[in-house]
Structure 1
Amino acid sequence: MRSLERHRDVGAYALGVLDEAEAFRFEDHLMECPRCAAHVTEFGPVTRQMMLYRRATPRVVHPMAQPGPRLLDRLLGEVATRHRARRRRLLYVVAAAVVFAVAGPGITMLAKGADSAPQDVRVTATDELSGVWAQLTTEDEAWGSDVEITVKDGAGPRSCRLIAVGVDGTEETVTSWNVPRHDARPNTMHGGSTRHTDQIDHYEIRTSAGEHLVTLKPS
C-alpha cells in the first residue's frame, strides 16, 4: 500500500471496515504518522454514534431509511427531559448537603441505599509491570455511559485500546489511540459505551496486539 493510500484509509480504519490484514498494516503506519493518529482520534465521536445507531436499529430497517417528520420533536423532548433530570440531581445534592449539615452523622445510615440509580465513576490506576498510569471518568447517560480516559505511557510508539468488560464477561471497545514515541505526557481521549456504569465490571487498556497494560476497576 502506497503512503497516500494509507492516509486515505484513516476513515475506513476508524470505522472498523478494513479487513484484518489491512488494519494491521495501517496500525504500523499509525506508529509513524502523527497526522493519521490525530485523524483517528477525531473520528472517535462519529464512530461512537454509528456504533450506537447500529446497535439500536433493528436489522429489518434499511440503512438509508429517512427520519420521520416527528423525529426532531422526539429528540428535542429527550434533550429537555435530560436537562430537567440534571437540574433535579443538582437540587437533590444541594438539599442533601443542607440536611447533612443540620442533622450531622446520624443521617449517614439512612442515606445508604436511598438511590439505586447508576452513579458516575472515577478511578485511577498504575500498572507496576507496564508502568502505564491511567485515570478514567465515566458519566451515566440515557444511552449508556460517556467515558474520558487520560493515559501516561512512555513506551510508545504503539496503538492502544480501552476495553469495557461487562459484569457478564463480554467486552466492548470504548476508544482507541496511538501512543507517540517515548512521550510520557498525559493524553486524554473520549469514548462511549452502550452499557451503563453499573453494568461494567472493570476497564482494561491493551495494545492492538492484545498486550495488557493496566486495569481500572471501580470500587
Structure 2
Amino acid sequence: MTAKAQRTREHGRTRRLGHTRRRVRLLLAAAAVALFTGGVLIGTAQGGGDAIPADLRGWGEIRSASDSETGLEAVAAVQSKGWGTHVALDLGNLKGPLNCRLVAVSAKGEESVVTGWAVPARGYGAIGSSDHLQVHGGIAIPLTDLDRLVVRADGVGDLLTIPARRD
C-alpha cells in the first residue's frame, strides 16, 4: 500500500472515530437532560407545596391550607364514618414549643376537639427538625356538616384554618 493510500485510510478511520465520539457525547448529553428533567418533574410532583403526603392519600377527601406569614402548611384527609368524621392531619413548618389541638367547627359554629399534641422546641417539619407531624382523630360532627378545621395553640390562639366544605 502506498503512503498516500495509508494516510487516506487512517484519515477515514480518524473521521469515523470523531463522528462516533461526537455521537456518544450527544447521546450522553441527551440522557443527562432527560434524567434532570425527569427528576425535576418527579420532585415537583412529590415535594411541591400542594403535595399530598402518601400516608394521607387513602384516608379520604383532601383539604389543605397554608399561611405565608408563618410558613405553616397543613393537609387534612376527612372521611365520613357511621359515627361521624375521621380526620387525618399532616402539619409542616410547625415551630415549638407549643401545646396544640385540632378543632373541628360545624356549619352551625359548634366546636369539637379532634385531637391534641405537644410541639417540642425544634418543631415539626421546620428547618433542623424531624418530619412533619401526623395525627389522627375523630369527631361526632358528620362530614356534611363540617365547615372547617382549626389548628389552635394554647396561649397563642388560632394558627391556621383549613376549609372543610366542598363548594
Using structure 1 for the length normalisation, give the TM-score: 0.43
SS of 1:182's partner is coil
Structure 2 counterpart of 1:125, from 62, 65, 86: 65
**Larger Rg belongs to:** 2
Match of 2:51?
A: none
- Structure 1 residues 199 and 132 mapped into 2: Cα distance closer, same or farther (>3 Å)? same
Displacement of 1:210 in angstroms is 4.9
Structure 1 counterpart of 2:102, from 162, 165, 171: 162
Q: CA separation in 1, counterparts of 2:122 and 2:72?
A: 12
The alignment status of 1:215 with 2:155, answered yes or no, reads no
Alpha-carbon RMSD: 1.4
Match of 1:139?
A: 79
* Structure with more of its chain in helix, by fraction: 1
Displacement of 1:130 in angstroms is 2.6
Q: CA separation in 1, counterparts of 2:117 and 2:161?
A: 17
Match of 1:173?
A: 113
Match of 1:34?
A: none
Give the gaps of 5 or more residues in structure 2: 1-59
SS of 2:122's partner is coil
Q: What amino acid is the match of 2:90?
A: T
* Structure with more of its chain in strand, by fraction: 2
Using structure 2 for the length normalisation, give the TM-score: 0.56
After the TM superposition, list the runs of 4 or more consecutive aligned residues in structure 1 that deviate by more than 6 angstroms.
none
The alignment status of 1:152 with 2:92, answered yes or no, reads yes
Match of 1:186?
A: 132
Q: CA separation in 2, counterparts of 1:157 and 1:181?
A: 4
Match of 1:204?
A: 150
Q: CA separation in 2, counterparts of 1:152 and 1:180?
A: 13
Give the gaps of 5 or more residues in structure 1: 1-119
Match of 1:19?
A: none
| Deviations, residues 170-200 of structure 1 (Å, cap 9, x unaligned) | 1111001111212323010010010111111
How many residues of Structure 1 are paired with residues of Structure 2 in the alignment? 100
Q: CA separation in 2, counterparts of 1:139 and 1:154?
A: 24
Q: CA separation in 2, counterparts of 1:138 and 1:204?
A: 13
- Does structure 2 conserve the Cα–Cα contact (< 8 Å) formed by 1:158 and 1:180? yes
| Deviations, residues 27-78 of structure 1 (Å, cap 9, x unaligned) | xxxxxxxxxxxxxxxxxxxxxxxxxxxxxxxxxxxxxxxxxxxxxxxxxxxx
